[in-house]
């Protein structure tokens, strides 16, 4: 019976995984097109000069790449425990993919407006992070509430759900701080990367803290 | 024996699934290139102004994205019950992928001509929907008639086949109405999205209605 | 033991399948970028006029799409019987993918030079077909000679190998005929599409003819 | 139990394989966009003239294609023995994908600056090779040190790890030689291609040499 459950899981989630992997992979690779554009824009100046002059494009490429990679790592971690997929989950996942697909656009904005209109550029990129957090939270909450996850990991998955709820508040605060500063949001977004670089480790730490607290309350 | 049938299924349909998922994933992600184009077209005006001025591009991106996502969800649902793939089905599926691959083109038309030539732009997009419906209907009808679906789901699959037949007539009517109006077709296409957002639920409702009617006739 | 062989097969060929499917899927979807280009080139004339004026782009898109789809169907059929993959086969397959990846280039040539320099444009596209035939023949011959195919299908696979050998001669002749005419090569390429649209059926017919002839010789 | 280990392996590494295959496949296919650009840059001269005039673009396309193909073949070989994936390996693999995704950029540089600033163009391409070597070495070293590979292949995997360590030094030397010459680095990079075209055969030869030496020492 154990074996059969695994089989079903593979069948049920393999196509949503494959489609999502495709979208992540293409969105992350399309970022390079903005870099190639550089070469066509100033054909007369020297090569090294052209590259150094467009340092923001390389910074934006790196930020865009890490953003989508972090999304993929979190998607991978969230779907590892999901055993069933229904139409609604496909739509919520579709919303996440919508934001991931959009990501090359704010990345191109960063590349071109980081000097001219830094605050607006960072705010637009930050708005993207709010949407990603909402999408990630929706996936985990829906999967948790509708028992689409493996029963034995249900309690652990709750911490999972929590970290994306926190992410919404965190990205909202960072977004609002764009009104007053550019540096503070950038520090907060770096922290966000550090936290969600390893979502499994992050949520399992939270899980242990919550368990320890529960035990203390019992006593 | 159950197990063996599953194995064969995986082997037979896994590559057509993977190829289709790839095409869907790329077509949906290429849509963002039209958005990035915006940034290069008016480099002198402010960032927010440029974005707000091109609201049709964002609307077109969203419509294009939902269109391809709905196609993927329907493709996923239709192929779930297909257990065998022959060369003809590959060609019919190829026709569907042809239309999906084309979709970024009418989407770009929407973005650029929604203000200038709204009726023609909507009609071209609507023509795309007719082709998608014909392709979806052809896949289901062929799979049904040539017994490529699992025998136990054959009766249910019939309702499946029916909803895409309805879709052809629906999209045809909406297309013809483009001659007299822009608003009415847009409402009809929104309804189309709602119906085919959950093809499994839609067709199983139809299945129950048809079953109930049959039982009434028997009495 | 039967089961184990299947397992090994899946493990050995699944990644080369996935990589190839990705390349086919992207190459086929990139073709649409040439179509979108149309909208940016003549922004002042009417929408329908712009589309009708660029009919060659749509023809080229369709030809490019069918070319890559036929390649994928043939790739699918050729790899169905391959049970082992070694480094050399990866390189031969890499050569096929090289030509498939190139295909959007001759397609763009067709779109832009079909009126101006029809003979050269068709010849370049035809050169692409020679390369594809050589690549397909190399894959089948290598897999056959190095016993990478399932032993029970070995005899059948020989006919498979033959049809791609024929294709090399066929495409060579069509290419040389470009020196004298445009119409004759186009007819030959249409025939090529018809033959290789269903490679399995084509080679199994050849297999039966060869078997019948052998039996006649024996008598 | 054997069977279960295989199952786990498939589940653990299949998504990182699929995502990586997607990125490799897209990066390799995007290279063609640079070729298509040629057709738009000189619309007035003849077709054959335009193509021959841009021979560097075709050379760059070929070099870029082989580079990414060699990366994929090596990635395939390195992950064949990896049975478990943790978050850190995902990040190291992410670094490799970062460099692979970047590759179309130095390829475009080669195409446009090979005549004008050959030394800088080759040096930038060479810098890319250093990064690829470091990424490949990091993956193998991490997998080896953290026992993520199948235990029975551990000794063989050590030779695997070694060849990428050698590659770092090799690409570093070639990069520094760009300061004095263009021809010598190009010869060295060709040698690099030859060595890493068949990483499995290369490392197994090394493995045998090291084993023979060990046995000699024992005597």
Cα–Cα distances in angstroms (integers) from residue D105 to residues A40, A159, B21, in the given order: 12, 41, 27
Note the pLDDT of residue D8.
41
Specify the residue for token string 């130095």: D106
Distance, CA of A111 to CA of B43 (rounded, Å): 13
Give the residue from chain A lying closest to B200, CA to CA: A87
Distance, CA of D4 to CA of C48 (rounded, Å): 60
* Best CA proximity match to C125, nearest among C50, C76, C190: C190
Q: What is the DSSP string of B50-72?
A: HHHHTHHHHHHHHHHHHHHHHHH
As given in the structure block, the two tokens for residue B89 are 């089905």
CA atoms within 13 A on the CB side of B35: 25
A200 chain-D contacts, CB cut-off 8 A: 87
Note the pLDDT of residue D9.
44
What percent of chain D is helix, strand and coil (3-state, nearest 5)? 85, 0, 15
Give the residue from chain B lying closest to C67, CA to CA: B94
Distance, CA of D80 to CA of D65 (rounded, Å): 22
Specify the residue for token string 């009417």: C46
Note the pLDDT of residue D219.
65
Asked if D69 and C94 come within 8 Å (Cβ–Cβ), the reply is yes
CB pairs under 8 A between A and D: 87
Q: What is the DSSP string of C111-127?
A: HHHTTTSHHHHHHHHHH
Specify the residue for token string 């269903």: C198
DSSP state of D22: H
Q: What is the DSSP string of chain C?
A: -HHHHHHHHHHHHHHHHHHHHHHHHHHHHHTHHHHHHHHHH--SS-HHHHHHHTHHHHHHHHHHHHHHHHHHHHHHHHHHSB----HHHHHHHHHHHHHHHHTHHHHHHHHHHTTTSHHHHHHHHHHHHHHHHHHHHHHHHHHHHTT-B-GGGHHHHHHHHHHHHHHHHHHHHHHHHTTT-SHHHHHHHHHHHHHHTSHHHHHHHHHHHHHHHHHHHH-
Q: What are the residues whose beta carbons fall under 8 Å from the beta carbon of C68, sequence distance 6 or more?
A: C24, C27, C28, C31, C100, C103
Distance, CA of C12 to CA of D57 (rounded, Å): 35
As given in the structure block, the two tokens for residue B125 are 């997009």
* Best CA proximity match to C160, nearest among C66, C215, C80: C80
Note the pLDDT of residue B219.
65
Helix, strand, or coil (residue B82) = strand
B107 neighbors B63 (Cβ within 8 angstroms): yes
Specify the residue for token string 């190139």: C102
Distance, CA of B65 to CA of D105 (rounded, Å): 28
- Using alpha carbons only, what angle is made at residue C91 by residues C90 and C96, rounded to the nearest 5 degrees? 95
Asked if A36 and D124 come within 8 Å (Cβ–Cβ), the reply is no
C47 chain-B contacts, CB cut-off 8 A: 109, 113, 116-117, 120-121, 124
Cα–Cα distances in angstroms (integers) from residue B183 to residues B60, B187, D199, in the given order: 16, 6, 61
Give the per-residue SS3 of A57-93.
Answer: HHHHHHHHHHHHHHHHHHHHHHHHCECCCCHHHHHHH
Specify the residue for token string 């019948």: C212
Distance, CA of B208 to CA of A167 (rounded, Å): 43
Which stretches in chain C have pLDDT values below 70? 1-12, 42-44, 219
Partners of A137 in beta bridges: none
Specify the residue for token string 């005006």: B45
Tens-digit pLDDT profile for residues D93-137 = 999 999 999 999 999 999 888 888 889 999 999 999 999 999 999
Asked if B121 and C17 come within 8 Å (Cβ–Cβ), the reply is no
Tens-digit pLDDT profile for residues B36-54 = 888 877 666 788 888 888 8
Residue A146 φ then ψ, to 5°: -100, 20
Note the pLDDT of residue C5.
35
Helix-then-strand count for chain A, H and E: 10, 0
As given in the structure block, the two tokens for residue D7 are 């199952």
Tens-digit pLDDT profile for residues D127-162 = 999 999 999 999 999 999 999 988 888 888 998 889
Alpha-carbon Rg for chain D in angstroms: 20
Cα–Cα distances in angstroms (integers) from residue C88 to residues B27, C93, C102, C161, D132, in the given order: 32, 9, 21, 17, 22
Distance, CA of C45 to CA of B110 (rounded, Å): 16
Note the pLDDT of residue A11.
52
Give the residue from chain C lying closest to A29, CA to CA: C26
Tens-digit pLDDT profile for residues B150-180 = 888 888 889 888 999 999 999 999 999 998 8
Note the pLDDT of residue B184.
93
* A163, burial (CB in 10 Å: exposed 0-12, middle 13-18, buried 19+): buried
CA atoms within 13 A on the CB side of B186: 13
Judged against a pLDDT cut of 70, whether residue D7 lies above it is answered with: no
Which stretches in chain B have pLDDT values below 70? 1-12, 42-44, 219
C206 neighbors C160 (Cβ within 8 angstroms): no
How high is the ipTM of this complex? 0.87
A101 chain-B contacts, CB cut-off 8 A: 28-29, 31-32, 65
Specify the residue for token string 């929104």: B190
* Best CA proximity match to D204, nearest among D165, D156, D168: D156
Distance, CA of C107 to CA of C103 (rounded, Å): 6
As given in the structure block, the two tokens for residue D48 are 């054959």
Distance, CA of C154 to CA of C81 (rounded, Å): 9
Helix-helix angle D87-102:D2-41, to 10 degrees: 20
Partners of C149 in beta bridges: C82
Neighbours of A86 (CB within 10 A): 15
- Comparing A199-203, B127-131, D11-15, D184-188, the range with the smallest average pLDDT is D11-15
Disruptive mutation site among B29, B83, B203 for chain A (greatest number of A CBs within 10 Å): B29
Q: What are the residues whose beta carbons fall under 8 Å from the beta carbon of A4, sequence distance 6 or more?
A: none
Q: What are the residues whose beta carbons fall under 8 Å from the beta carbon of B12, sequence distance 6 or more?
A: B83, B84, B85
Note the pLDDT of residue C43.
61
Residue D82 φ then ψ, to 5°: -80, 125
B102 neighbors C32 (Cβ within 8 angstroms): yes
Distance, CA of C170 to CA of C189 (rounded, Å): 9
Residue B116 φ then ψ, to 5°: -70, -50
* Best CA proximity match to A100, nearest among A23, A189, A197: A23
Note the pLDDT of residue D73.
93
DSSP state of A148: -
C22 chain-A contacts, CB cut-off 8 A: 22, 25
As given in the structure block, the two tokens for residue C206 are 């050849």
As given in the structure block, the two tokens for residue D163 are 């060849």
Min distance A39 CA to chain D CA atoms (Å)? 7
Asked if A32 and D117 come within 8 Å (Cβ–Cβ), the reply is no
D33 chain-A contacts, CB cut-off 8 A: 33, 36
C28 chain-B contacts, CB cut-off 8 A: 23, 97, 101
**Which of the two residues, C97 and A15, has the higher pLDDT score?**
C97
Q: What are the residues whose beta carbons fall under 8 Å from the beta carbon of C5, sequence distance 6 or more?
A: C83
Q: Once rounded to an integer, what is the mean pLDDT over residues A181-191?
A: 92
Judged against a pLDDT cut of 80, whether residue D10 lies above it is answered with: no
Q: What is the DSSP string of D147-175?
A: T-B-GGGHHHHHHHHHHHHHHHHHHHHHH
Tens-digit pLDDT profile for residues A87-133 = 899 999 999 999 999 999 999 999 888 888 889 999 999 999 999 99
Give the residue from chain D lying closest to B25, CA to CA: D22
Distance, CA of A36 to CA of A29 (rounded, Å): 12
Distance, CA of A181 to CA of A178 (rounded, Å): 5
DSSP state of B153: G
Cα–Cα distances in angstroms (integers) from residue A212 to residues A207, A208, C75, D146, in the given order: 9, 6, 57, 29
């Amino acid at each position: 019976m154990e074996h059969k459950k695994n089989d079903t899981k593979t069948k049920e989630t393999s196509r949503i995984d494959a489609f999502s992997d495709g979208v992540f992979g293409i969105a992350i690779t399309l970022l390079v097109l903005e870099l190639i554009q550089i070469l066509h824009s100033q054909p007369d100046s020297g090569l090294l000069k052209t590259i150094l002059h467009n340092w923001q494009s390389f910074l934006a490429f790196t930020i865009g790449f890490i953003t989508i990679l972090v999304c993929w790592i979190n998607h991978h971690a969230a779907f590892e425990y999901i055993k069933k997929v229904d139409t609604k989950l496909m739509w919520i996942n579709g919303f996440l993919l919508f934001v991931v697909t959009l990501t090359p656009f704010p990345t191109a904005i960063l590349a071109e407006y980081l000097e001219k209109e830094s605050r607006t550029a960072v705010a637009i990129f930050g708005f993207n992070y709010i949407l990603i957090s909402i999408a990630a939270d929706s996936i985990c909450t829906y999967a948790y509430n509708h028992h689409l996850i493996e029963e034995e990991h249900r309690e652990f998955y709750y911490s999972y759900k929590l970290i994306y709820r926190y992410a919404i508040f965190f990205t909202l605060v960072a977004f609002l701080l764009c009104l007053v500063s550019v540096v503070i949001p950038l520090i907060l977004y770096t922290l966000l990367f550090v936290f969600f670089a390893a979502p499994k480790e992050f949520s399992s730490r939270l899980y242990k803290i919550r368990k320890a607290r529960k035990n203390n309350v019992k006593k």
